[in-house]
Amino acid sequence: MSIDLSNFRDETVISLSVEGQLNKDSLEFNGRRIRFTEPIKYDGEIYKVGKEKYLHVNINYRYEEVCGRCLEAFSREDKTVLSGKLVEKENEIGLDEDEDLIYYYDERLELAEYVVDAIIVSLPMKPLCHEGCKGLCAKCGANRNKDDCQCVVEDIDPRFAILRDLFPRE
């Protein structure tokens, strides 16, 4: 995952292709757990604009996660983009903070952490097996995508529920 930037010492070199795979089994963040079912693939380039160097790579990944509504595992293929300006670690003072910066050190760029961060940002806020997932029945716990359990789920205001418990009907 370490990319050698020393080719850019040659002023005539204006781009460098970046391609590879990252083997990562799983990822845990915000109480979620994503399991990668195949290596994460990335493919793109580092290119020069004037004196500056920029990175742009496409990331493809396939993962498995548990649905936040029905609790069934689902798998999905997704993609995202990682791009930003390369900055040597020592020279980070006084930079324009609006830009996405990617740091390298000693002519080497370690991409793994940036790839993983880009994936975290691209994942949906809430894991869902599919958009219309009906979730679990609040009464019997059945997966309502598979089983139409016919339960009548009363939507009772909790304040009234307290009153109902205080004055149970005979």
| Ramachandran quadrant class, 134 (left: phi over 0; alpha: psi -120 to 50; beta: rest) | alpha
Q: If binding is defined by CB under 5 A, does position 14 make contact with Zn ion?
A: no
Separate counts of helices (H) and strands (E) for the chain = 2, 9
**Quick count: other Cβ atoms within 10 Å of Cβ 88?**
14
Q: Name the one range near Zn ion by CB under 5 A: 20-28, 56-64, 69-77, 100-108.
A: 69-77
Q: If binding is defined by CB under 5 A, does position 67 make contact with Zn ion?
A: yes
Q: Name the one range near Zn ion by CB under 5 A: 86-94, 110-118, 127-135, 161-169.
A: 127-135
Query: How many residues line the site for Zn ion (CB under 5 A)?
Result: 11
Candidates 33, 139, 146, 164: give the one binding Zn ion (CB under 5 A): 139
Candidates 140, 156, 161, 162: give the one binding Zn ion (CB under 5 A): 140
Contacts of residue 39, Cβ cutoff 8 Å, sequence gap at least 6: 21, 22, 23, 24
What's the token pair of residue 94?
Answer: 């006084």
Residues of this chain that bind Zn ion (CB under 5 A): 67, 69-70, 129, 133, 137, 139-140, 142, 149, 151
